[in-house]
Chain A
Amino acid sequence: MDYSSVIQGFSVVLQPENLLYCFIGVLVGMLVGVLPGLGPAATVAILLPITLNVEPVTAIIMLAGIFYGAQYGGTITSVLLRLPGEASSVVTVFDGYAMARDGRAGSALGIAAIGSFVGGTVSIVALTFFAPFVARFALDFGPPEYAVLALLGILLVASVGSGSRLKALVAAGLGLLLATVGRDGFTGAERFTFDSLALTDGIDFVPIAMGLFGLGEILYNLEDRSGRATAPPKMVRALPSKDEVKQSSGAIGRGSVIGFLLGILPGGGAVLSSMAAYAYEKKRSKHPERFGQGAIEGVAAPETANNAAATSSFIPLLTLGIPANATIAVIFGALLIQGVTPGPQLITEHPDLFWGVVNSMYVGNILLLIMSIPLIGIFVRILRVRGTILAPITVLITLIGAYTVANSVFDIMLVCVFGALGYLMKKFGFEPGPLVLAFVLGSLLESALRRSLILFDGDPSGFVTRPISGVLVLALVIVVAAPALRALMTRRQNRAKNEELV
């Protein structure tokens, strides 16, 4: 491996300007991330416009900061308000809120910050060695491999995500459809533009992400079913004690490994890993009954694991160009806007960018650790501000932000349209994640598919006979068939059980 480029990456990241932007990113990411109801995908989407007016490397460093800040923002609401900002923080609620009720909110948030830092850092180190290896393997990929890989990525996210598989697939189909709007790159024909000049270049990614994730959430929260949110409990002690750190060190170590390994899997890696880490700690504990009553390991393990997983889910993005979940899909979109196409060529053609991205994660992580503890008091104060006051501020930031991306009033209208769509999708039980992901991968998938067909002279069996794409097709078949097989087996087992009873 070429270590000089790794070090080169550090010198890029450590420039004062880049450090400043990373700092701003972490800060703003945390501030928006603690707003109730806005998870990391929504936070990154809403803040996208502020990353677009700076240089690519700086923008990416800022994004890494926003990403970490938003993740931690979700943890803060889990512990203080019992409102998980995202699925991967759900298990944190059990012991985190119990700790907060006992006046140990500071310990819980502190250990979550330390765990996130350790998990994230372990994951980045592993990524540094692992990613170039995967990228080298993927360099041989041609259009057929990319077509199958993109399809596999969409299918995996649709099948591992929360909610119904079928509904996720329909949402993904809508995303692919939206990606076809605009001038066709091969023939120049205008597709689904309805003679609108604004649609000729296609629909921008930013209004889609901001609308579906951001405005959709805010509109949905307007219905406000559960009444007023609980007031955050009082903070007694701001830092975890030495004993508490010692007590959770094992959980943090194990959480890092579980998180890294499960995070590489596309689709829901962070969710899966936080649950697996929590369950594992509870299982190996001598006093499992403490879990749910404020066991500090119950906060340390899942928070470490979900941050490790969030970091390792950058591996499929940076080496294959396939985003593994909704938040990474938003970051993928941001990179594309910056003119950076993540994929196997990135590491060889733009080593400064690649290592800039990777190394900025160290900085984002360190800043998170340094800032989270002294700033906890400020976040508690923000959480005391009523949601009814924060909502119009968030809406105005989103609308003005959407305008500034391309100085276009049309984009504000698009954000509104996709905000309405995001709200309706939530009401009808459709996740917006697969739609956004499919939209991001849509044009890649189409051009890879059409190129392959031309390459194969119209014979689709070529997808199976090429060795790598053949293996990927096999994986695709397994992903499609596995749930059906599992359902069949449980049905057979149930029948056997029923027969036994008779």
Chain B
Amino acid sequence: MSASHEARTPEELAEQWEAEKPPAAGPLSTAAAAAVVVLLGAAVMVASFRLGVGSVQQPGAGLWPLMIGAFLVVSSTVLVLTARRFDDAERFVSSSWLVLVGLGTMVLFALVVGTIGFEIPGAVLAFVWLRFLGKESWRLSTIGAVAMVVAFYLIFVLALQTPIPHLF
């Protein structure tokens, strides 16, 4: 987005947004997502019968989930059948791996925070996000990660006294 190519009118801007849009994934991806929901809906329906549907006069615990399951199956089946018409799904690109890494640091945080406190996993998360996901320098990433944890310690542990597990 350099200054020389800047859009001047709303029409040009709309065109530019269109051009900057991520690559579309095509109908197959919508169909696949919908197929997963069809299976989920079917599983819900089976589980609902096990819970006991009851009668219309005396609805059981499974009646409402059964209706939702049926709705999911029907609506997603229609989606599978009409998937041709959808082009709003996005293709996974090489940088989509970064998302998995980012998610990994969060899950790690969730797994260990209960035992060793938030400082170490927090610093690891901040460092990975800065250095590897944000491509900042080693120096800035190290200092940034430590500074963030110190700031969070001051705010959440000392100032707000939240019970977040902490090491020190």
Chains A and B are bound partners: yes
Give the number of chain B interface residues (Cβ < 8 Å): 77
Is B86 within 8 A of A429, CB to CB?
Answer: yes
Task: Output the residue of B40, B75, B125 with the most chain A CB within 10 A.
Answer: B75
Say how far B20's CB is from chain A's closest CB, in angstroms. 5
**A177 part of interface (Cβ distance < 8 Å):** yes
Is A392 within 8 A of B130, CB to CB?
Answer: yes
Is A166 within 8 A of B79, CB to CB?
Answer: yes
User: Once the chains are docked, how many angstroms separate the CA of A166 from the CA of B84?
Assistant: 13
The digit string for A421-436, where 1 denotes a CB below 8 A from any CB of B, is 0011011111000000
Is B64 within 8 A of A450, CB to CB?
Answer: yes
User: What are the residues of chain B within 8 A of A388 when measuring CB–CB?
Assistant: 129-130, 133-136
User: What are the residues of chain B within 8 A of A186 when measuring CB–CB?
Assistant: 59, 61
Is A458 within 8 A of B55, CB to CB?
Answer: yes
User: What are the residues of chain A within 8 A of B114 when measuring CB–CB?
Assistant: 409
- Set B78, B110, B129: member contacting A416, Cβ < 8 A: B110
User: What are the residues of chain B within 8 A of A249 when measuring CB–CB?
Assistant: none
Say how far A385's CB is from chain B's closest CB, in angstroms. 11
- Set B29, B51, B59, B122: member contacting A453, Cβ < 8 A: B59
Is B75 within 8 A of A189, CB to CB?
Answer: no
- Set B40, B75, B92, B136: member contacting A166, Cβ < 8 A: B75
**B103 part of interface (Cβ distance < 8 Å):** yes
Q: Decide: A413 near B107, CB < 8 A? Known: A166-B82, A454-B58.
A: yes
Give B69's nearest chain A residue, CB to CB. Answer: A177
User: What are the residues of chain A within 8 A of B78 when measuring CB–CB?
Assistant: 166
User: What are the residues of chain A within 8 A of B34 when measuring CB–CB?
Assistant: 170
Give B121's nearest chain A residue, CB to CB. Answer: A399
User: What are the residues of chain A within 8 A of B111 when measuring CB–CB?
Assistant: 413
User: Once the chains are docked, how many angstroms separate the CA of A457 from the CA of B59?
Assistant: 10
B interface secondary structure, majority: helix
**B42 part of interface (Cβ distance < 8 Å):** no
User: Once the chains are docked, how many angstroms separate the CA of A409 from the CA of B135?
Assistant: 30
User: What are the residues of chain A within 8 A of B25 when measuring CB–CB?
Assistant: 427-428
A interface secondary structure, majority: helix
- Set B8, B63, B152, B164: member contacting A450, Cβ < 8 A: B63
**A94 part of interface (Cβ distance < 8 Å):** yes
Is A404 within 8 A of B86, CB to CB?
Answer: no
Give B76's nearest chain A residue, CB to CB. Answer: A170
**A169 part of interface (Cβ distance < 8 Å):** yes
**A163 part of interface (Cβ distance < 8 Å):** yes
**A226 part of interface (Cβ distance < 8 Å):** yes
Task: Output the residue of B8, B56, B102, B156 with the most chain A CB within 10 A.
Answer: B102
**A386 part of interface (Cβ distance < 8 Å):** yes
Please give the residue numbers on chain B whose beta carbons come within 8 Å of chain A beta carbons, in ascending order.
1, 6, 8-10, 13, 20, 22, 25, 29-30, 33-34, 37, 40-41, 44, 47, 51-52, 55-65, 68-69, 71-72, 75-76, 78-79, 82, 86, 88-90, 92-93, 95-96, 98-99, 102-103, 106-107, 109-111, 113-114, 118, 122, 125-126, 129-130, 133-136, 144-145, 148, 152, 156, 162-164
16 contacts across the A-B interface (CB closer than 8 A): A170-B34, A173-B72, A177-B65, A177-B68, A177-B69, A180-B68, A222-B102, A223-B93, A223-B96, A225-B95, A230-B1, A292-B10, A389-B134, A391-B133, A399-B110, A400-B152
Please give the residue numbers on chain A whose beta carbons come within 8 Å of chain B beta carbons, in ascending order.
82, 93-94, 98, 101, 163-164, 166-167, 169-170, 173-174, 176-177, 180, 184, 186-187, 189, 191-192, 215, 218-220, 222-227, 230, 292-293, 386-389, 391-393, 395-396, 399-400, 403-404, 407, 409, 412-413, 415-416, 419-420, 423-424, 426-430, 446, 449-450, 453-454, 457-460
A-B contacts besides A82-B13, A184-B61, A192-B44, 13 pairs, CB < 8 Å: A170-B34, A170-B75, A173-B68, A186-B59, A220-B99, A222-B98, A386-B134, A413-B107, A416-B110, A420-B103, A427-B90, A453-B57, A453-B59
